Structures are given as C-alpha cells and as structure tokens.
Chains A and B, each alone.
Chain A
Amino acid sequence: DTAVSQTPKYLVTQMGNDKSIKCEQNLGHDTMYWYKQDSKKFLKIMFSYNNKELIINETVPNRFSPKSPDKAHLNLHINSLELGDSAVYFCASSQEGPFLEQETQYFGPGTRLLVL
C-alpha cells in the first residue's frame, strides 16, 4: 500500500500549457505539502495545507495554484508553463499540523516535469 502517491510520475509538455499534478495520502495525516527539487537536488517547500487550509505559501509565481479538496488530497495546478518550471515536484504529508510539536514529513515518489 502506497502511503503518499502522486500522478503522473512523468509529465512532458510544451511551454505555455496548463497542467495539474495530483497527490493522495492514505496515512490519515492532517497536513500536506508541495516541494520543488531542482536539477541540483535542492528541495524547497512551496505550499502546505492543514485540514484543507493554506498554511504556507512561499514565494512562488501565482501561476502555481494548490487545491485541497479534502485532507487526503492536495493537487497542484500550473498555468502557462515555463522552461524554468522543469523540476521534480514532491508531495509530502505529516501527521500533525504545523502548530504542534515536532512532525515527520513523508514524501511521495515525485512527478518529473519537463517543459519543452
């Protein structure tokens, strides 16, 4: 049973297109995250949701819009894709909200986005 799953695993698209990445977790966690990992493997947080409420919104272009239909799902929609958006996007979840004590984030397998 996959704890944190993402679809698709690979995404190749043209500049200017709009695409979505989906994430689901079956761990019963309250908080979900989106991270971006660049070509140098640097992992940086983009967004987090706690019980469907946006908690963290880093300095990310507004072409990126997260949506959480319920606490088990967090999707990422990207408008007008640019070459610089090419990266690996990871979804993660944690058991407790960011307002509580230490938490462990569990990551999905990643979505490899290539913008041509």
Chain B
Amino acid sequence: EDQVTQSPEALRLQEGESSSLNCSYTVSGLRGLFWYRQDPGKGPEFLFTLYSAGEEKEKERLKATLTKKESFLHITAPKPEDSATYLCAVQAGRGSTLGRLYFGRGTQLTVWP
C-alpha cells in the first residue's frame, strides 16, 4: 500500500537555526510529490511540486529536494512566521490510484525568536 511518512512530528527551532524536514514514501510509480504549508485553522497552502529524482525547487527560505525514496524540505534561517505544519503528499502513477494524493501526518514547525 502507498505510504507517506514524515519526520520529525514536531520541530522547534530558534530563529535563524536552519534545519530539514523529511518525507519518505513508498508508492507505485511516483507522478508527483507535493509540499503544502498549513496554518492553524486554515486549509493547506501549496508550496512545491517535484516530479523526478534530483529535482530541487526554492521559495524564499524554503528549498525542496527529491530522491527516489524521500524528499527534504530545507529551511534556511527560519523566522517565526515560518511556524506552521508542513504536509507532504504523493500522487501515484496510473491505475487504481488515479488522482489520489496520499498525505503524510505532517511536521509541526515552531520557530521562536
């Protein structure tokens, strides 16, 4: 069965302290891996899509990378406003899983001043 595991469950960083979040997946033919940010009381907000191993994407202090088994979300010099839950999701290849996104349970990031 397709699975997505995120680690750590929670991460506390001091402002400026860089770190990485991990998303490991087992899926039958990856079509795409997605990173979302979710603030309390709001819907997930799209950040990145990665399609193939070796691909990297950046947005401000965030950089997402992808290998054949996992993705990392690197946060460089985080600020308190980066505090949120970061969700990883994968979309499998054609077949019975058409269109489905399989989500991990998220990493709750807290950045304190």
Q: Are A43 and B44 in contact (CB under 8 A)?
A: yes
Q: Are B43 and A110 in contact (CB under 8 A)?
A: yes
Name the B residues within 8 Å of A42 (CB-CB).
103, 105
Q: Are A56 and B98 in contact (CB under 8 A)?
A: yes
**Chain B nearest CB, measured from A2 CB (Å):** 11
Q: Which residues of chain A (66-108) have a CB below 8 Å from chain B?
A: 90, 92, 97-99, 101-108
Known: A98-B99, A102-B31. A41 touches B85 (CB 8 A): yes
Q: Are B46 and A56 in contact (CB under 8 A)?
A: no
Q: Are A44 and B98 in contact (CB under 8 A)?
A: no
B65 at the interface (CB under 8 A from A): no
How many of chain B's residues have a CB under 8 angstroms from any CB in A? 25
**Chain B nearest CB, measured from A113 CB (Å):** 14
B58 at the interface (CB under 8 A from A): no
Residues of chain A whose beta carbon lies under 8 Å from any beta carbon of chain B: 4, 31, 33, 40-45, 48, 50, 55-56, 90, 92, 97-99, 101-110
Residues of chain B whose beta carbon lies under 8 Å from any beta carbon of chain A: 31-32, 34, 36, 38, 41-46, 49, 51, 85, 87, 89, 91, 94, 98-101, 103, 105-106
A–B Cβ pairs within 8 angstroms, 10 of them: A4-B43, A50-B99, A56-B99, A92-B43, A98-B98, A103-B32, A105-B34, A106-B46, A107-B36, A107-B43
